[in-house]
Amino acid sequence: DAGVIQSPRHEVTEMGQEVTLRCKPISGHDYLFWYRQTMMRGLELLIYFNNNVPIDDSGMPEDRFSAKMPNASFSTLKIQPSEPRDSAVYFCASSPRGHSYNEQFFGPGTRLTVL
Amino acid sequence: GENVEQHPSTLSVQEGDNSIINCAYSNSASDYFIWYKQESGKGPQFIIDIRSNMDKRQGQRVTVLLNKTVKHLSLQIAATQPGDSAVYFCAENRNSYKLIFGSGTRLLVRP
Average pLDDT, consecutive stretches of 10 residues, N- to C-terminus, chain B (111 residues): 82 97 90 95 96 95 95 96 97 84 95 90
Confidence label for A35 from pLDDT (cuts 50, 70 and 90) = very high
Residues sharing a CB contact under 8 Å with residue B50, sequence separation 6 or more, in sequence order: B32, B33, B34, B56, B57, B64, B66, B73
Give the pLDDT of residue A104: 94
Instruction: Region of A28 please: left (phi>0), alpha (psi -120 to 50) or beta.
Output: left
Give the pLDDT of residue B2: 58
Residue A42: which of B32, B98, B101 has the nearest Cβ? B101
Between residues A111 and B5, the one the model is more confident about: A111
Q: Count the helices and strands in chain A (H runs, E runs).
A: 0, 11
Minimal Cα distance from B44: which residue of A?
A: A106
Q: Quick one: average pLDDT of A39-49?
A: 93
Average pLDDT, chain A: 94
Q: How far is CA B64 from the centre of its chain?
A: 8
CA distance B15 to chain A (A): 27
Question: Nearest CA to A114 among A76, A80, A75?
Answer: A80
B81 half-sphere exposure, CB direction, 13 A CA radius:
4
Residue B32: which of A33, A45, A102 has the nearest Cβ? A102
Minimal Cα distance from A97: which residue of B?
A: B97
- Whether A82 contacts chain B with CB within 8 A: no
Confidence label for A1 from pLDDT (cuts 50, 70 and 90) = low
Residue A100: which of B42, B45, B49 has the nearest Cβ? B49
